[in-house]
């Protein structure tokens, strides 16, 4: 059974989670840049229209390294009981209980604190603002 957090516990854990999310997000955005660069190197053509395959071995090595770092960060976050929903948006959820059912407390990169919640099946689109009095 997944760990259930109170709002206070989720908010207390946020600084450490946010630090990992910031690094994970930066790595993911860099991964996107390098992947696009490697793809463009494979699409390059010479003046006579023949394909030219550039040596992207250094780029591929960096991509592999970034993928490993991202996987490690995701694992670290998940070991804290927090679910990573979108690495590029920096979106994470803490399972919590509300009115006898499991829900998610939701935070994404750029938000000051955990201020949103949603039903398990609703996802980000179903986010609702947290009214603290309802969670204490």
What does the pLDDT read at residue 21? 97
Given a cut of 60, whether residue 90 has pLDDT beyond it is yes
- What is the token pair recorded at 93? 């959820």
The rounded distance, in Å, linking the Cα atoms of 117 and 76 is 22
| pLDDT tens digits, 22-55 | 999 999 999 999 988 887 776 655 556 666 666 6
Which DSSP helix (H) or strand (E) runs through 56? none
Give the chain's length: 136
Q: Where are the domains of the chain?
A: 7-134
Q: What is the DSSP letter of 120?
A: T
In DSSP terms, 101 is beta-bridged to 98
The residue-averaged pLDDT of 4-16 equals 97
Q: What is the pTM of this model?
A: 0.85
pLDDT bin (cut points 50, 70, 90) of residue 117 is very high
What percentage of the chain exceeds 70 in pLDDT? 88
- What is the pairing mode between strands 116-119 and 101-108? antiparallel
What is the layout of strands, in order, in the sheet containing 91-98?
82-86, 91-98, 101-108, 116-119, 128-129
């Amino acid at each position: 059974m997944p760990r259930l957090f109170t709002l206070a516990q989720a908010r207390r854990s946020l600084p450490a989670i946010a630090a990992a999310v910031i690094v994970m997000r930066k790595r993911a955005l860099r991964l996107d840049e390098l992947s696009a660069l490697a793809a463009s190197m494979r699409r390059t053509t010479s003046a006579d229209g023949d394909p030219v395959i550039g040596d992207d071995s250094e780029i591929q090595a960096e991509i592999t390294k970034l993928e490993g770092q991202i996987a490690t960060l995701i694992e670290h976050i998940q070991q804290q009981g927090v679910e990573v929903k979108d690495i590029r948006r920096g979106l994470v959820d803490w399972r919590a209980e509300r009115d006898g059912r499991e829900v998610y407390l939701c935070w994404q990169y750029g938000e000051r604190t955990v201020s949103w919640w949603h039903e398990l099946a609703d996802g980000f689109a179903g986010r609702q603002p947290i009214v603290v009095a309802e969670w204490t």
